[in-house]
Amino acid sequence: MKYKIRPGAKMQWCEGLNSTVVRIMDEQGRALSDLDWIDAEQELTPAILAVALRHGQIADDGIFVDMADVQTVNEVDSALSAAGELQRINRENPSMKNLHEPGRLSEVSADTLKTVQGRADRLLEADVRPELEEHWKNLGGSVDLVV
């Protein structure tokens, strides 16, 4: 599955779009942009744009990015939020610390964060592809906030 990102617009996705559909459309010379794209709840973030500029695919009016790559970036944000929430709960409710086994949960949180951060780092190790950056800028997009 893929998202389509466009400067200044909501991210979009296409129901039923999988690698087989992409291959068949490619063989037939049809553009993925011709499909019915639906606005997504997912917001475009600098981290998602950074991944798209490294691993994306040019669309007529934007860039396609794999949902799995977006999910990897989102997992880092989720792990950071969960770790912060756990710290807040333990700080505000000292009597609950024993219920949560703070040492063990901290280890689990750290391990989870390390794992998802490692996957995200591997995605971001690649160089920005000049053709994707140029395409994004030609569409009116900015890369100033890209991580």
**What pLDDT, in 10s, does the model give residues 93-110?**
666 555 555 555 555 566
Cβ partners under 8 Å of residue 97, min gap 6: 90
Pairing of strands 38-39, 12-13: antiparallel
How confident is the model over 10-44, as pLDDT tens digits?
999 998 888 888 889 889 999 888 889 999 998 99
The residue among 93 and 55 whose pLDDT is bigger is 55
Q: Which helix (H) or strand (E) holds 129?
A: none
- What are the start-end ranges of the H helices in 13-66? 19-27, 46-55
Q: Which amino acid is at 142?
A: S
**Around Cβ 74, how many Cβ atoms within 10 Å?**
17
- The strand pairing partners of 58, in sequence order, are 63
**pLDDT band at 122; cut points 50, 70, 90:** confident
Residues in the chain, overall count: 147
Rounded-to-integer distance, Cα 142 and Cα 71, Å: 22
* Averaged pLDDT for residues 65-75: 89
